């Protein structure tokens, strides 16, 4: 799954000040402190029992299979935190939590609190919109073993479609594809690593 | 490098009608792309033009036939023949360059070479960044601070452990020195995803014509590249 990497902007005092003044953030951008509550999240359906299995490979060579499963949910400060377990083989799982804010944006966090949360996807991602330090690149139709020709949105750490990007910089590219009513379809990177959805089960709450 | 309008009334080549206007068009096209030397063409089909056609077909045919049919593959490639850019910093040593040169002019517009040889140190830099920054919190959550610190104390000596821990939090990555890029045997082609299938088609065609050079492995990767390998 994804890192809990920070949202730099979240820590900016200016934004904190703006929030304190009730100015808030634009409803389409996901850069601010998450606010409580949640509605249905079409691009990342959260419900206990949902799971997603991925085949992970590098340049087509299989490395491992991983499964992310939402195993339980708990409420705190009007926020419902879903406990996610990422399992590879029979290893001890990596545990983290997913929650949504009032606008339906989804966050990942190491513990069931809002401290150190990382935004994953907005409720209705649009090209050019920021998701933490990443950007929504736009939509495209992709194939995975689980789903054929599915409309997905790509979120990436920088624009990869520029021939002038140096080879060195391109290696640092990372991206994620999400599909409506499915969740995370694909994770990919500039070194040819990718995790592709092979199986999933989702239901909305 | 060239981009010509190439309209043919009838086939040009060995044992073909070879209408003078068609021959002149092919002659100009072959000169533009540097497959034949510059000279004045009278409209007569000659051996230099034949050799030029064969040189073009060598890119994608195991046995060139020296014939350009109207609306055929050779005409299509000739009409869109263009060398594509190579991104800054891309290294294409030896046979990698040879492979790129065969594929390059046939690729659809918008294609470019985005990666070739990568050193083990470059791979290591990304691996270490994953360990130290991107996945630090997850690695500590799964393996504990003590184990993380022990591995961090000497990343080079503990490289197999670094790999294990990065993969253990769900990130697929090759060991430094082990990927085909680091062996100098892989090229990535960039470009809009809309032309991915065409790029794959071209590389497969070239691979069939150069069985001793290209391995035939061609992948459409989710990082926006079409990846192919050489033997």
Full DSSP string of B154-190? TTTTTHHHHHHHHHHTT---PPTTTSTTTTT-EEEEE
CA distance B166 to chain A (A): 11
Give the structural domain span for A153.
Answer: 9-201
Q: Is residue A113 part of a domain?
A: yes
Number of domains in chain A: 1
Closest C-alpha among A187, A185, A184, A181 to residue A41: A181
**8 Å CB contact of B172 and A170:** no
Q: Is residue A3 part of a domain?
A: no
Q: Is residue A2 part of a domain?
A: no
Q: What is the pTM of this model?
A: 0.87
Q: List pLDDT tens digits, range B192-203.
A: 988 999 999 999
Say which range, A68-72, A113-117, B123-127, B159-163, has the weakest mean pLDDT. Answer: A113-117
**8 Å CB contact of B223 and A3:** no
Q: List pLDDT tens digits, range B88-146.
A: 999 999 999 999 999 999 999 999 999 999 999 999 999 999 999 999 999 999 999 99
**8 Å CB contact of A59 and B224:** no
Q: Which residues fall within 8 angstroms of residue B24, CB to CB, at 6 or more apart?
A: B41, B43
ipTM value of the model? 0.89
Q: Is residue A78 part of a domain?
A: yes
**8 Å CB contact of A59 and B89:** no
Which residues on adjacent β-strands are paired with residue A97? A83, A109
CA-based nearest residue in chain B for residue A91: B168
Encoding tokens for residue B142?
């799964």
Query: What's the CA angle centered on B37, arms B35 and B39, to 5 degrees?
Result: 130
CA-based nearest residue in chain B for residue A142: B222
CA-based nearest residue in chain A for residue B123: A191
Q: Average pLDDT, whole number, for chain A?
A: 84
Q: List pLDDT tens digits, range B13-67.
A: 999 999 999 999 999 999 999 999 999 999 999 999 999 999 999 999 999 999 9
CA distance linking residue A73 with residue A100, whole number of Å: 12
CATH number of the domain bearing residue A88: 2.40.360
Task: Enumerate the residues of chain A whose CB falls inside 8 A of the CB of residue B168.
Answer: 88, 91, 94
């Amino acid at each position: 799954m994804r890192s809990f990497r920070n949202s730099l902007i979240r820590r900016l005092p200016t934004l904190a000040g703006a929030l304190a003044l009730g100015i808030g953030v634009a409803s389409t951008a996901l850069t601010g402190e998450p606010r409580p509550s949640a509605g249905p999240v079409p691009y990342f359906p959260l419900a206990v029992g949902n799971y997603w299995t991925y085949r992970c490979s590098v340049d087509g060579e299989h490395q491992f299979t991983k499964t992310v499963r939402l195993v339980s949910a708990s409420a705190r400060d009007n926020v419902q935190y879903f406990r996610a377990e990422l399992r590879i083989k029979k290893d001890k799982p990596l545990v983290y939590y997913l929650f949504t804010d009032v606008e339906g944006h989804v966050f990942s966090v190491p513990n069931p609190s809002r401290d150190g949360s990382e935004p994953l996807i907005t409720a209705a991602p649009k090209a050019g919109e920021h998701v933490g330090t990443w950007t929504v690149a736009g939509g495209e139709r992709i194939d995975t073993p689980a789903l054929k020709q599915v409309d997905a949105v790509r979120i990436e750490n920088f624009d990869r479609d520029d021939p002038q990007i140096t080879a060195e910089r391109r290696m640092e590219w990372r991206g994620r594809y999400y599909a409506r009513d499915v969740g995370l379809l694909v994770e990919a990177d500039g070194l040819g690593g990718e995790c592709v959805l092979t199986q999933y089960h989702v239901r909305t709450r | 490098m060239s981009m010509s309008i190439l309209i043919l009334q009838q086939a040009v080549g060995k044992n073909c009608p070879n209408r003078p206007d068609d021959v002149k068009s092919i002659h100009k096209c072959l000169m533009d792309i540097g497959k034949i030397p510059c000279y004045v063409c009278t409209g007569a089909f000659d051996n230099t033009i034949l050799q030029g056609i064969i040189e073009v077909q060598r890119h994608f045919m195991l046995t060139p036939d020296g014939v350009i049919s109207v609306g055929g593959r050779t005409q299509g490639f000739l009409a869109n023949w263009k060398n594509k850019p190579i991104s800054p910093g891309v290294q294409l040593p030896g046979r990698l360059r040879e492979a790129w040169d065969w594929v390059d002019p046939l690729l659809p517009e918008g294609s470019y070479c985005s990666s070739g040889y990568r050193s083990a140190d470059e791979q290591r830099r990304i691996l270490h960044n994953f360990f130290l920054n991107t996945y630090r919190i997850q690695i500590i959550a799964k393996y504990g601070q003590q184990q993380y610190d022990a591995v961090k104390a000497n990343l080079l000596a503990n490289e197999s452990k670094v790999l294990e821990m990065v993969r253990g939090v769900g990130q697929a990555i090759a060991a430094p020195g082990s990927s085909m890029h680091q062996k100098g045997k892989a090229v990535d082609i960039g470009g809009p995803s809309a032309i991915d299938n065409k790029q794959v088609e071209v590389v497969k065609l070239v691979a069939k014509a150069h069985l001793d050079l290209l391995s035939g492995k061609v992948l459409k990767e989710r990082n926006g590249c079409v990846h192919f390998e050489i033997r």
